[in-house]
Chain A
């Protein structure tokens, strides 16, 4: 018995030693990284009221699959763990802790939702886990002074609103503006951004602001109210479904204001066609991505790359959904950062390279739009171009403006 126990102990020790040597070489300061793979995590709303945005996560996962099929980055495959949080912050906190503490991911990539990212920002910064390219346009996420491990990606809502504000002031300084906004961070950030950009002395320009909930069936009532307020300029801080309803109703009740719309809803296939293209003539948006259903990009090589990608990795998905374009852009930028890291995939290096992207252009960006970051600038995309809908396509006009 005694000798058997000794023998067992010895063999266990040997086995452990051998395993340690031949096992995955986890670097001390690079969790989630081995010689052959890098494990990253994210939360996405695959269920619940925001589930339409789950398409972003699907596009990102598919993009990394494509990269892996091409051999990965520096010989490592990207393993994206994408968990559903149902757009509920307590669930986000739980899933992120699971990813960081149990799955030991290298970093968190493109988690979606302002409240969700707000809930995890402190935790990730405290634990020095990079929170890279958060999928929200809220301006609070570009604050390297206080939160050096968190960085945004898309043009933030205030930038867009500011671009609209300056256009209004230039082209119609006596405008009476009515705003329809979604009653959440997205809509409110827009509204506040517009008011801030118009400035205190132009505060009277906003004559009516009306909100709606995502659970509401229609916004017809809100549009009628806005018409009744005498506004002649209409800002739609609304997601596709409600933007389409609003555009259609405005036309149907005979209200013809100058219309500005958030680029989230700048989709011919998802908004203009359902509303009725003739009802949307003249709508202006701030764009930074090529819109997939826009005839202008029919033969564009960048969009064809995207179309081939969709056909191969997301066949059956709705190619008029601009979320798939955005997801592609996010993932392409991430791939660039990983390339820049070379073989040092520690969290510090990853964060350093995320703050060191220079003039990166993804195939799906509008010409002139680039990703630029620096240790003091955590707003990677700040350029947009105004575009006007002419009944068939988006006509870009003016210069590429940088907020």
Chain B
């Protein structure tokens, strides 16, 4: 009498797996909530930036990871969101909360508008066109005609909001929680989106556009809407960033920002919601890390951190081309396969010894 082989390792591992996952989530929540109380103001603002990047990467990942449209110019939407929030709160006296939201809505419109001509551009052409968008953004922001609103090359200063209801939080801590709150909402929305019919439609459009159309998916509508939504996410991130930094200027939104966002989603792993956290940590901290490595090389090596950063990027792509999430999936798959085969071996032995006794 041989037992059925274990086909789905999840069933065997299920109770422990679930406990592990809940445990991890609980630890995660403790860390996220407790962070600003143990870290200095400076570190807290750095982690706020990480959360902000995570939101922006979430948006870009929706577009590029799940829907296959490569954008090298998302820094432009980050800029629109940042400036919209700044102009609304500084020039028009709108409260910062609504200002960020309105910035997001404006970015949705901008993204949708850009998505329309983008429909005609395939992969590479779209990448280059968005690259040009990223380069044109600082110049547009400096345009004389907009000076009265944008502050021109001098930029705009924002006052950092303090905690409401006289909560005993410093400004850094309050902003951090604001960012985390927005991130949590957007993450939840994204996870639901991905797992819904819409998410499946997006992935279908990415992998088999013609088949998707044949099945009745309105590719054009989905693609432009995704562009809009992705821009909106990035715009919200930009708006939050302008609050955390307290200043916007055309120089704040250069080409390197757009490139960093792409680096972030690739390092984190395309089409992975949780990977964006790894990506965000990477683009916030690794340049500083490269800085400290090059310090060892002495005074003359002032610009070398970027060479080190470049080398790290290449090594990372070599070691983990599918990013953190992709590599994690591979590792977990390998572990589960090993477990499955060892469970099967155990069952076989049991069956064999059972045969003997029965």
A adjacent to B, CB under 8 Å: yes
Chain A residues within 8 Å of B, Cβ to Cβ:
44, 46-49, 51, 54, 57-58, 61-62, 82-84, 86-90, 93-94, 97-98, 100-102, 113-116, 118-119, 122-123, 140, 183-185, 188, 213, 215
Name the residue on A nearest B291 (C-beta).
A84
Given contacts A61-B299, A94-B45, A98-B42, contact A119 B153 (CB under 8 A): no
Residues of B within 8 A of A215 (CB): 135
Residues of A within 8 A of B152 (CB): 188
A51 & B303 in contact (Cβ 8 Å cutoff): yes
A58 & B299 in contact (Cβ 8 Å cutoff): yes
Bound form: Cα–Cα A183–B41 in Å? 35
Name the residue on B nearest A138 (C-beta).
B154
Give me 26 A-to-B residue pairs in the complex whose CB atoms sit less than 8 angstroms apart, sorted by A's number: A46-B302, A46-B303, A47-B306, A48-B256, A54-B302, A58-B299, A61-B299, A88-B251, A90-B241, A97-B41, A97-B42, A101-B42, A113-B251, A114-B153, A115-B154, A116-B251, A118-B154, A118-B157, A118-B247, A119-B247, A122-B157, A122-B246, A184-B142, A184-B251, A185-B153, A185-B154
Bound form: Cα–Cα A123–B96 in Å? 19
Residues of A within 8 A of B291 (CB): 83-84
Given contacts A101-B41, A213-B139, contact A89 B247 (CB under 8 A): yes
A136 to chain B, nearest CB (A): 11
Contacts A101-B42, A114-B154, A119-B157 known; list 13 others, CB within 8 Å.
Answer: A47-B303, A54-B302, A82-B302, A86-B256, A89-B155, A93-B246, A94-B42, A101-B40, A116-B251, A118-B154, A122-B157, A185-B153, A213-B139
Residues of B within 8 A of A51 (CB): 303
Bound form: Cα–Cα A46–B294 in Å? 13
Chain B residues within 8 Å of A, Cβ to Cβ:
40-42, 45-46, 49, 135, 139, 142, 152-155, 157, 241, 245-247, 249-252, 254, 256, 291, 299, 302-303, 305-306
Among candidates A48, A61, A113, residue contacting B254 with C-beta atoms closer than 8 Å: A48
Bound form: Cα–Cα A392–B269 in Å? 60
B155 & A84 in contact (Cβ 8 Å cutoff): no
A207 to chain B, nearest CB (A): 17
A184 & B135 in contact (Cβ 8 Å cutoff): no
Residues of A within 8 A of B306 (CB): 47
Among candidates A48, A93, A188, residue contacting B245 with C-beta atoms closer than 8 Å: A93
Residues of B within 8 A of A46 (CB): 302-303
A84 & B154 in contact (Cβ 8 Å cutoff): no
Bound form: Cα–Cα A83–B302 in Å? 9
For B152, B154, B157, B306, the residue with the greatest tally of chain A CB atoms inside 10 Å of its CB is B154
Bound form: Cα–Cα A39–B353 in Å? 75
Name the residue on B nearest A99 (C-beta).
B42
Bound form: Cα–Cα A87–B155 in Å? 14
B245 & A119 in contact (Cβ 8 Å cutoff): yes
Residues of A within 8 A of B157 (CB): 118-119, 122
Bound form: Cα–Cα A86–B42 in Å? 19
A89 & B302 in contact (Cβ 8 Å cutoff): no
Residues of A within 8 A of B46 (CB): 94
Name the residue on B nearest A121 (C-beta).
B157
Residues of B within 8 A of A83 (CB): 291
Among candidates B45, B142, B245, residue contacting A89 with C-beta atoms closer than 8 Å: B245
Name the residue on A nearest B139 (C-beta).
A213
Bound form: Cα–Cα A84–B132 in Å? 26
Given contacts A98-B42, A101-B42, A122-B246, contact A84 B303 (CB under 8 A): yes
Bound form: Cα–Cα A183–B249 in Å? 13
Residues of B within 8 A of A116 (CB): 251
B42 & A88 in contact (Cβ 8 Å cutoff): no
Bound form: Cα–Cα A188–B250 in Å? 14
Bound form: Cα–Cα A233–B246 in Å? 41
Given contacts A54-B302, A122-B246, contact A87 B251 (CB under 8 A): yes
B282 to chain A, nearest CB (A): 16
B80 to chain A, nearest CB (A): 16
A49 to chain B, nearest CB (A): 8
Residues of B within 8 A of A97 (CB): 41-42, 45
Residues of B within 8 A of A185 (CB): 153-154
B152 to chain A, nearest CB (A): 7
Bound form: Cα–Cα A184–B45 in Å? 28
A54 & B303 in contact (Cβ 8 Å cutoff): yes
For B40, B46, B153, B246, the residue with the greatest tally of chain A CB atoms inside 10 Å of its CB is B153
A262 to chain B, nearest CB (A): 16
B139 & A94 in contact (Cβ 8 Å cutoff): no
Residues of B within 8 A of A54 (CB): 302-303
A58 to chain B, nearest CB (A): 7
Residues of B within 8 A of A94 (CB): 42, 45-46, 49
B303 & A89 in contact (Cβ 8 Å cutoff): no
Among candidates A47, A57, A62, A88, residue contacting B305 with C-beta atoms closer than 8 Å: A47
Name the residue on A nearest B158 (C-beta).
A122
B217 to chain A, nearest CB (A): 39
For A82, A113, A184, the residue with the greatest tally of chain B CB atoms inside 10 Å of its CB is A184
B302 & A84 in contact (Cβ 8 Å cutoff): yes
Name the residue on A nearest B135 (C-beta).
A215
Name the residue on B nearest A215 (C-beta).
B135
Q: State the 5 A-B residue pairs at the shortest beta-carbon distance, nearest first.
A: A119-B247, A101-B42, A46-B302, A115-B249, A97-B42
A139 to chain B, nearest CB (A): 11
Bound form: Cα–Cα A61–B302 in Å? 12
Residues of A within 8 A of B250 (CB): 115
Bound form: Cα–Cα A48–B305 in Å? 12
Residues of B within 8 A of A44 (CB): 302
Bound form: Cα–Cα A72–B41 in Å? 33
B249 & A118 in contact (Cβ 8 Å cutoff): yes
Bound form: Cα–Cα A51–B254 in Å? 15
A96 to chain B, nearest CB (A): 9
B328 to chain A, nearest CB (A): 29
Residues of A within 8 A of B251 (CB): 87-89, 113, 115-116, 184
Among candidates B135, B241, B254, residue contacting A88 with C-beta atoms closer than 8 Å: B254
Residues of A within 8 A of B139 (CB): 183, 213
Bound form: Cα–Cα A90–B299 in Å? 24
Bound form: Cα–Cα A100–B41 in Å? 11
Bound form: Cα–Cα A82–B302 in Å? 9
A102 & B299 in contact (Cβ 8 Å cutoff): no
Bound form: Cα–Cα A82–B295 in Å? 10
Residues of A within 8 A of B245 (CB): 89-90, 93, 119
Bound form: Cα–Cα A98–B135 in Å? 29
Residues of A within 8 A of B142 (CB): 183-184
A48 to chain B, nearest CB (A): 7
Bound form: Cα–Cα A263–B250 in Å? 25
Bound form: Cα–Cα A328–B67 in Å? 55
Residues of A within 8 A of B249 (CB): 89, 115, 118-119
Residues of B within 8 A of A87 (CB): 251
